[in-house]
């Protein structure tokens, strides 16, 4: 089966289990309209004077254009499909190494970390057509990604960024506030993850900056800048909006649970 078809089917299956565990559980303290629904344009609460980013978020989908997917997977962002979608095909700012990496990942049978149940990484986890939860305290933010039930920590306690980190899937994140915008700096990645469903890769030198700004109760603006001189000829930046999923919660998800495809493959039965 072609890799793009497999990806589409995989995300269609994920979409089927996206119903959360606590449906219609009201968010405490949320602004509400006269009919009792969460007021998505209502005011934002604060923690120690800073905007409270807590909530369950999912990137707002865009109309699908020609190209990747459109095969039944959950509606998604173009940056989930391709982080370089703002560039014309002949102007994509890839180094020769970045171009070769993308070529290898597009080959039939190429190892896809996501389809093998490995973490989506940063910033790909922010762009999935699946939700993530932010839990905010004064000194730390925890992000819980529904896909693979993966967590991430963002430290706000003033610690310095690591200078020689051990390579990891999610990297190491420290944050600071610039007014009402949370700026997160993440380094220390391995070179195994994909930045998008297309297969754009990265090196261990990648650095990611995320800028979170909750413009109102129901919308979280997110600016992303990726810097990786071994993969890109220049930093790449783009902007998405995460939308609040009100009155609900995350669902436990492990992609190998109840997996039955392997038994139908030659030589795989009984393994």
pLDDT of residue 20: 46
Does 224 score more than 50 pLDDT?
yes
Cα gap 11→14, rounded to integer Å = 5
8 Å CB contact between 171 and 124 = no
Would you say residue 157 lies in a domain? yes
Q: What percentage of the chain exceeds 70 in pLDDT?
A: 82
The answer to whether residue 167 is domain-embedded is yes
Measured at the CA of 261, the angle between CA 258 and CA 264, to 5 degrees, comes to: 130
pTM (2 d.p.): 0.85
* pLDDT recorded at residue 72: 46
152 in any annotated domain:
yes
SS (H, E, C) 127-165: HCCCCEEEEECCCEEEEEECHHHEEEEEECCCCCCCCCC
Q: Which CATH number is 238's domain given?
A: 2.40.128.20
Q: How many domains are contained in the chain?
A: 1
Q: Is residue 256 part of a domain?
A: no
Q: Is residue 106 part of a domain?
A: yes
30 domain residue, yes or no = no
Has residue 14 got a pLDDT over 50?
no
Where in the sequence is the domain holding 103, given as residue range(s)?
3-22+47-249
Q: Residue 35 domain-assigned?
A: no
Whether residue 161 lies inside any domain: the answer is yes
Confidence of residue 22 (pLDDT cuts 50, 70, 90): confident
What digits encode the pLDDT tens for the residues 141-162? Answer: 999 999 989 999 999 999 999 9
Contacts of 212 (CB under 8 A, 6+ apart): 53, 181, 182, 184, 220, 221, 222
């Amino acid at each position: 089966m072609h890799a793009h078809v497999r990806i589409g089917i995989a995300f269609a299956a994920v979409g089927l289990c996206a119903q959360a565990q606590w449906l219609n559980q009201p968010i405490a303290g949320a602004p509400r309209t006269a009919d009792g629904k969460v007021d998505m344009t209502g005011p934002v609460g604060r923690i120690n004077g800073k905007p409270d980013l807590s909530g369950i978020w999912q990137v707002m989908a865009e109309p699908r254009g020609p190209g990747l997917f459109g095969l039944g997977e959950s509606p998604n962002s173009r940056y989930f499909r391709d982080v370089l979608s703002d560039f014309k095909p002949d102007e994509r700012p890839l180094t020769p190494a970045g171009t070769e990496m993308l070529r290898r990942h597009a080959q039939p049978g190429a190892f896809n970390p996501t389809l093998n149940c490995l973490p989506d990484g940063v910033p790909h986890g922010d762009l999935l057509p699946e939700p993530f939860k932010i839990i905010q305290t004064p000194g730390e933010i925890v992000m819980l990604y529904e896909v693979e039930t993966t967590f991430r920590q963002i430290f706000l306690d003033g610690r310095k960024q690591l200078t020689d980190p051990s390579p990891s899937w999610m990297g190491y994140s420290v944050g600071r506030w610039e007014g009402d915008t949370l700026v997160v700096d993440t380094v220390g990645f391995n070179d195994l993850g994909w930045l998008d469903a297309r297969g754009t890769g990265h090196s261990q030198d990648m650095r990611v900056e995320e800028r979170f700004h909750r413009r109102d109760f129901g919308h979280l603006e997110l600016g992303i800048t990726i810097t990786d001189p071994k993969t890109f000829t220049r930093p790449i930046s783009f902007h998405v909006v995460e939308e609040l999923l009100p009155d609900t919660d995350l669902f436990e998800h492990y992609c190998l649970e109840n997996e039955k495809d392997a038994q139908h493959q030659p030589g795989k039965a009984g393994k």
